Amino acid sequence: AQSVAQPEDQVNVAEGNPLTVKCTYSVSGNPYLFWYVQYPNRGLQFLLKYITGDNLVKGSYGFEAEFNKSQTSFHLKKPSALVSDSALYFCAVRAGRTSYDKVIFGPGTSLSVIP
Amino acid sequence: NAGVTQTPKFQVLKTGQSMTLQCAQDMNHEYMSWYRQDPGMGLRLIHYSVGAGITDQGEVPNGYNVSRSTTEDFPLRLLSAAPSQTSVYFCASRPRDDAGELFFGEGSRLTVL
């Protein structure tokens, strides 16, 4: 069965410092991988995705993520954190490439950027 | 652009009552899905649909029913609400065969007393 793990419930980082939010997954085949962000009392917003090709994916708001197939990881990164980046971040995986393949989410990581 | 619209935003039910959470999208997306969000558990898939007339179960389908009579609408029915169904519910859609991301509604917060 496919699964997604986000090993840190909470990540704290000082404003201006680089940030990393970790994600590992367990699926067979070649998955699609996604990161979403959720601000308080809002729905989830798409940040970036890995489909194929270059292992470093760039997305919205200066975020990027590195796909590592051997470690089955897809960590979210940003070179310089902003206070406005404080939010809940979800990693998600879609195991297959057919219309029936479901998207499974990790438990989420709460990011706090400290001024 | 409306995107994915969920109603109601808030609802309080008593145990045993029934209700329907509405979801509508105006992007002509074939794929629609319902998730529930609970603290520490992320989003769990309840039901999904790949087109009108086609639905299937997700991770936590018990206590919920769905139907898909049109491309635009995907209602979620609670036939006999239980306190364990207190949660925030999200509807999401995407084109069926696309590698694209899900588009989410703003959520419906349900409390079952």
- Domain ranges in chain A are 3-114
**pLDDT (tens digit per residue) in A24-81:** 999 887 889 999 999 988 889 999 999 888 899 999 999 999 999 999 999 999 999 9
Task: Tally DSSP H helices, then E strands, for chain A.
Answer: 0, 12
Cis check for the bond before B8: say yes or no (omega within 30 of 0): yes
Q: Does B44 touch chain A (CB under 8 A)?
A: yes
CB burial string A41-56: b at 16+ within 10 A, e below: eebbbbbbbbeeeeee
CB burial string A16-28: b at 16+ within 10 A, e below: eeebebbbbbebe
In this prediction, residues A74-95 reach a mean pLDDT of 95
> Distance, in angstroms, between A110 CA and closest chain B CA?
10
Is the model's pLDDT at B76 over the cut of 90?
Answer: yes
B1 band by pLDDT with thresholds 50, 70 and 90: low
Helix (H, G, I), strand (E, B) or coil at B64: strand
Is the model's pLDDT at A107 over the cut of 80?
Answer: yes
In this prediction, residues B64-92 reach a mean pLDDT of 97
φ, ψ at A72 (rounded to 5°):
45, 55
In this prediction, residues A5-18 reach a mean pLDDT of 96
The one-letter amino acid code at B86 reads T
- Look at the domain A3-114 and name its fold: Immunoglobulin-like (2.60.40)
